[in-house]
Amino acid sequence: MQVAKVIGSVVSTQKSASLLGKKLMVIAWVNTDGSGPALRETPAEIAVDSVGAGVGELVLVSRGSAARKIFPEPNQAIDLAIVGIIDTIDRF
C-alpha cells in the first residue's frame, strides 16, 4: 500500500461497465509525513474509492490485483483503489 492525498473527483458519463456506480477520485502520491508529491515528477492518478474518502484526506491506496479484489465482479478496469482513510501516522 501507498500513501496518497485526495485532490479531486472525477465525473465520467461514458466508462467501462466495471466502473458503473463506483466513485472515482483524483489522488497525488505523498510522503508518510503528508508532504508531497513523493516524487517530483509524479502525475496525479485516478483511484476507485471503497471507503468514502473526501478531498483533502490522506488515504491508503492499493494497486493491481489487490485493488481489484476489493470490489465484486465485474472489476476488470480497476487498477488503483482507496482502501483506507488515514487518521494519524506515528513515526518512531
2-56+67-79 has which fold? OB fold (Dihydrolipoamide Acetyltransferase, E2P) (2.40.50)
How far apart are alpha carbons 73 and 13 in whole angstroms? 20
CA dist., res. 69 & res. 52, Å (int): 17
Average of pLDDT values for 11-36? 89
With contact defined as beta carbons under 8 Å apart, do 82 and 51 qualify?
Answer: yes
Average pLDDT of the chain is: 89
> What is the C-alpha separation between 27 and 37, in angstroms, rounded?
10
> How far apart are alpha carbons 1 and 76 in whole angstroms?
20
Taking a C-beta distance cutoff of 8 angstroms, is the pair 32, 65 a contact?
no
More confident residue, 72 or 39: 72
Among residues 52, 64, 63, which one has the least CA distance to residue 29? Answer: 63
Full-model pTM: 0.88
Q: What percentage of the chain reaches a pLDDT higher than 70?
A: 95
Average pLDDT over residues 5-23: 93
